[in-house]
Amino acid sequence: MAANLHYLHFPDQILQTKFQSKQFKPVIRSKTNGHCVVSCLSSSNGRGPGGLDDGVKSVEKLLEEKRRVDLSAGIASGKFTVKKLSFPLQLRNNLLKLGIPKVVVESLLKWTGSLEDYPRIPEAKGSISALQNEAFFLALYELYLTYGGIFRLTFGPKSFLIVSDPSIAKHILKDNPKAFSKGILAEILDFVMGKGLIPADGEIWRRRRRAVVPALHQKFVSAMISLFGESTDRLCKKLDDAASDGEDVEMESLFSRLTLDIIGKAVFNYDFDSLKVDTGIVEAVYTVLREAEDRSVAPIPFWEIPIWKDISPKLKKVNAALKLINDTLDDLIAICKRMVDEEELNFHEEYMNEQDPSILHFLLASGDDVSSKQLRDDLMTMLIAGHETSAAVLTWTFYLLVKEPSVMSKLQNEVDSVLGDRFPTIEDMKKLKYTTRVINESLRLYPQPPVLIRRSMEDDLLGDYPIKRGEDIFISVWNLHRSPNHWEDPDKFNPERWPLDGPNPNETNQNFSYLPFGGGPRKCIGDMFATFETVGAVAMLVRRFDFQMALGAPPVEMTTGATIHTTKGLNMTVTRRRRPPIIPTLEPTVQVGSLLNIPEVKTVLGQNDEVSSASPS
């Protein structure tokens, strides 16, 4: 038998004396900083699988521990991180402060050869295959603990800068955002989002943001809270049926359908009704979503190969799905335009059509002068972004809740007190403080997305390190949110790490160590929408039901996509909540010379011991 061990790092001289026995066959992959990356193959030579494999695992563990100790010592000694500014860098900064154009300074330093003396960004090299067994962002966390807040990750000829330092993230997102584009992200999403709000850059982005942001006004958000309640009530009825039948449910897919129904109505007044039916348009949306996620983690852009994109059955299916979605959106745009033309329009800052409060209706009523293609790109962007992220937040929130019964108990107590048997309202959102903190903490532990992507559009300085134009950058939100340098017990689910009566945590008051919705001018415009949506859904669900992992459910593991998904779903057993019995306080009396008098005790339940369904008012 043969078993692959993790990649191990050995100095070259060790390879000359170690692993000479027949049981180990080192395969040298590549060299990094004078070390060889080795994959070892073990062989039992016909003997049983027991002792030798156990020995191999022990060796692997010891060597891995030694590698980490050596790397930690190297980091502590300054081997990987250059903290002191070199003279050329100091000269460059001083010349720029004097007002000398950057191009002149850079040319001067390049001509004198001084650029070679700049601090070099720590570099990690590897093979893409080394990251295929786990979610990409998990590997980035291990590398961050080794190489620090900024390092270069190189795969063959391709490299990325990995940023896990809050001050550098702030520089990219807020202090100098015009110097960075969406880069790879825009290229990956072009086939579905075009020049929509997320992938667009420059003047197109500024123009579209000015048009779309006003649509998310207070009156619209209030109307959406009613939509959140109605849509979640559909899911409650589905879970009620499952509880009656004693069937386990896969919650991740149900959350995906719930948020698809919500975003369809909110963005362009279309009822997917995906919790009840599987129509062609629903399947088309999921086909496109899966393709976008596949492209986000693909090592090469196979979809750009001329012959392949014409013959691939998968791409043909994707193109057919895209056509169906685009045709549907075109029809919805045409219908909405007729509605706007026919109504007596009195457009104002908080304009909203009662029959169609969608963002599409607002944009058309505002006189937004934009092509149907651009409008379709905007709608598709909001559909995908608003659907995927909220579904992922709900999935991982319930995963965390079932692991922490004490948090679930506090949550249910608050919801019972605030909501009773009603649907949530805008006023309730301010009162559901603990519920909001549950969502805040869920987003810290499972950020959606776990990585933000940028590309430098000009030469810049990240921390102490100069970078060139065209650098692809991954801001690891996962690393920022779980850094032991910024958080106490970073892996613990603790909604009360922020005071309930304090402000909601955001990138500003957490110094860019917390980026649930990004930061700077390109921060997500739907942050309030998404927060109220998930708070409302969680409140309604935990009020009605108790949740626990299903017996025999597969382990809940993560995989990389546009957001964090489970590998095999979130399989749960759902039961109706029962009101706790009312038990009277016993006050026995004892009289001298008599027996102990104990009153008769009766367990008293409410008229209905099961929590009833909520009502809109």
DSSP per-residue string spanning 46-62: TS-SSHHHHHHHHHHHH
Distance of CA 303 to the CA centre of its chain: 25
Return phi, psi of residue 546, to 5°. Answer: -105, 145
Q: How many CA within 13 A on the CB side of residue 394?
A: 32
Q: Strand 180-181 to strand 451-456: parallel, antiparallel, or no bridges (unpaired)?
A: antiparallel
* 236 carries a ligand binding annotation: no
| Residue 293 to residue 313: CA distance in whole angstroms | 18
| Residue 298 to residue 17: CA distance in whole angstroms | 39
Strand partners of residue 518: 516
Question: Maximum CA pair distance of the chain?
Answer: 109
| Residue 561 to residue 579: CA distance in whole angstroms | 40
For residue 449, cis peptide bond before it (omega within 30 degrees of 0): yes
Task: Supply 490's token pair.
Answer: 């970073």
Buried b (16+ CB within 10 A) or exposed e, 388-418: bbbbbbbbbbbbbbbebeebbebbbebbbeb
Per DSSP (E only), the strands in 242-382 are 249-250
Classify residue 539 by burial, with Cβ atoms within 10 Å: 0-12, 13-18, 19+. buried
Cα-based angle 533, 539, 545 (whole degrees, multiple of 5): 130
Cα-based angle 230, 234, 235 (whole degrees, multiple of 5): 120
Known binding site for heme: residues? 524
Known binding site: residues? 524
